[in-house]
Amino acid sequence: MTKLAFVILLTVLGHAGFVGSRITVSLSAIGQGASPRTVGVLMALYAMLPMLLAVPAGRLIDRTGAARPLAFSSAAVAAGIFLPFAWPAPPMLYAASVVIGTAFMVQHVALNHVVGTMGDPAGRAVRFSWFALGFAISGFLGPLIAGFAIDLAGHRIAFLVLAVFPALGTLLLLWRWPALPAGHDARPEAGERRVADLVREPRLRAAFIFSGLLATGWDLYTFVVPIYGSRIGLSASTIGVIMSTFAFATFVVRLFMPALARRVSEWTVVCAALVISGCAYSLFPLVTRVPMLMALSFLLGIGLGCAQPMIMALLYAASPPGRQGEVVGVRTTMLNASHTFLPLLFGALGTALGMGPVFWSMAAFLLSGSWLAGKRR
């Protein structure tokens, strides 16, 4: 097994549990009578500590390498998902959200650091495209497994099933420990290392901004679709199928990304992703039939799925030597800031005005961003 294939397998196992837990936490809360505002709080808790700790985690990984942080975080993801099974009480959903979100943040930064430091820089976009394909596979499996497990056995058993995946990843990592690259130590530099220095770098700043915009579109989907599906009377398995259609689309588009990365510039792909995603979001509140919801989910998955490898390639190309993990940490902090506050905002908006304004607001952000990305081409 090559190092990249090993990292992709770890990604699939960890991310399947993470993304499956998000829909299970949402639907479990909704089943207990929670409002969209409460679901928004739960989704915000997934991102609250990652928002504060991602940069320190990135610096730690720069210094020590990725192996030990990855092992501890993978085990913590499994433990966090297991909590609502061990203690099926509403307060445990809040605790699980914090533990799962924080642990997966460390895992995500470590895996990105490993892929970014592999091989030669010329092949970085291709490697990130293959890496993103792993996220597409797990993004497809997680909601599907969660939805059917809930309908067949209930929310509690669904948490147990999902905890198996990161637990297997932890065992695999311990078994094949030498196969994982240790990463690179941070290089000593004169003066204090400041995040502001990274943000002031024009190429990094642009990549941070558009990465946050695209990730917000992705994160909002996982938040609003369970709520919207429940409001129009869909079952948990049907919602899981719709969300898996989104993930299947990211898998399909990423099959072609390694070849596309050799022929098309990064900013061209980012611009196209924003246009496609904005159009899909604008149509969501207008449909209630499952086939049309699946079609729009597929279209949204095509748009959002093609951009992430290009964003990561742009970030690593502009990263100062020895600070790649820190750059990923800064990106993760920015993403989790939006993941923390936007669910609260959109949850309150959805409670007061319905889900239509939530979808259309996101569409407006994405389409506005496409104009700015077009200028950077």
Domain-located, residue 188: no
- 131 or 198, which is more confident? 131
Nearest to 225 by CA among 157, 293, 301: 293
The DSSP output letter for 289 is S
Name the 3-class secondary structure at 190: coil
pLDDT band at 377 (very low <50, low <70, confident <90, very high): low
Domain-located, residue 28: yes
Domain-located, residue 9: yes
- H-type helices in 201-265, by residue range? 202-231, 236-261
Domain-located, residue 140: yes
CATH number of the domain where residue 80 is located: 1.20.1250.20
Mean pLDDT of 115-126: 73
Q: What would the pLDDT profile of 292-327 be if each residue is shown by its tens digit?
A: 999 999 999 998 888 877 877 777 777 777 676 778
Residue 118, Ramachandran bin (φ over 0: left; ψ between -120 and 50: alpha; else beta) = beta
pLDDT band at 231 (very low <50, low <70, confident <90, very high): confident
In percent, the amount of the chain with pLDDT more than 70 equals: 92
- 269 or 17, which is more confident? 17
- Cα–Cα distance for residue pair 26/180, rounded to 1 Å: 34
User: What pLDDT was estimated at residue 181?
Assistant: 54
Domain-located, residue 189: no
- Cα–Cα distance for residue pair 11/4, rounded to 1 Å: 10
Residue with tokens 């605790």: 95
3-class secondary structure for 81-147?
Answer: HHHHHHCCCHHHHHHHHHHHHHHHHHHHHHHHHHHHCCCCHHHHHHHHHHHHHHHHHHHHHHHHHHH
- Give the phi and the psi of residue 336 in degrees, each rounded to 5: -75, -25
Domain-located, residue 191: no
Domain-located, residue 75: yes
Contact 96, 25 (CB under 8 A): yes
In percent, the amount of the chain with pLDDT more than 90 equals: 22
Residue 354, Ramachandran bin (φ over 0: left; ψ between -120 and 50: alpha; else beta) = left
Q: What would the pLDDT profile of 183-203 be if each residue is shown by its tens digit?
A: 554 454 445 567 777 777 777
Domain-located, residue 187: no
Query: Structural domain of residue 67, as residue ranges?
Result: 3-177+197-376
Residue with tokens 């700015």: 372
User: What pLDDT was estimated at residue 190?
Assistant: 42
- 54 or 299, which is more confident? 299
Number of compact structural domains in the chain: 1
